[in-house]
Amino acid sequence: MEDTRPIFEAVAAAQARGEAVALATIIAAHGSAPRHTGSKLLLRADGTTLGTVGGGLLEARVVAVAREALRDGQPRTETYVLNDIGRGDPGVCGGTVTVFIEPITAPPTLVIIGGGHVGKALAELAKWMEFRVVLTDDRPEYCSPEYAAGMDEYIVCAPAELPKRLNIQPETVIAAVTRGLPVDLHLIPALLATPAAYIGLIGSRRRWALTVKALADEHGVTREQLARIHAPIGLELEAETPKEIAISIMAEIIMVRHGGTGQPMRWLGEADEAQGAAGA
Q: Mind listing the pLDDT tens digit for each residue in 175-185?
A: 999 988 888 88
Q: How many CB atoms lie within 10 A of CB 3?
A: 7
- For residue 87, the 8-state DSSP code is G
Q: How far apart are the first and last CA of the chain?
A: 74
What predicted TM-score, i.e. pTM, was given to this entire model?
0.77
Nearest to 50 by CA among 6, 102, 15: 6
pLDDT digits (tens, 9 = 90+) for 95-108: 788 999 999 988 89
pLDDT digits (tens, 9 = 90+) for 146-174: 999 999 999 999 999 999 999 898 889 99
Strands (E), the chain: 21-30, 40-43, 49-51, 76-81, 96-104, 109-113, 132-137, 153-156, 173-176, 198-201, 229-230
Question: From edge to edge, which strands make up the β-sheet containing 21-30?
Answer: 49-51, 40-43, 21-30, 96-104, 76-81
Superfamily of structural domain 109-258? NAD(P)-binding Rossmann-like Domain (3.40.50.720)
Q: d(Cα 141, Cα 257) in Å, to the nearest integer?
A: 31
Region of residue 73 (phi > 0: left; psi between -120 and 50: alpha; otherwise: beta): left
Nearest to 194 by CA among 220, 224, 162, 223: 162
Per-residue confidence band for 134, with pLDDT thresholds at 50, 70 and 90: very high
pLDDT of res. 181: 80
Where do you find CATH 3.40.50.720 in the chain? 109-258
Query: Angle at which helices 205-219 and 181-192 pack, to 10 degrees?
Result: 60
Q: d(Cα 194, Cα 217) in Å, to the nearest integer?
A: 22
3 or 10, higher pLDDT = 10
Residue 71, CB half-sphere, CA atoms under 13 Å: how many? 7
Q: d(Cα 59, Cα 36) in Å, to the nearest integer?
A: 14
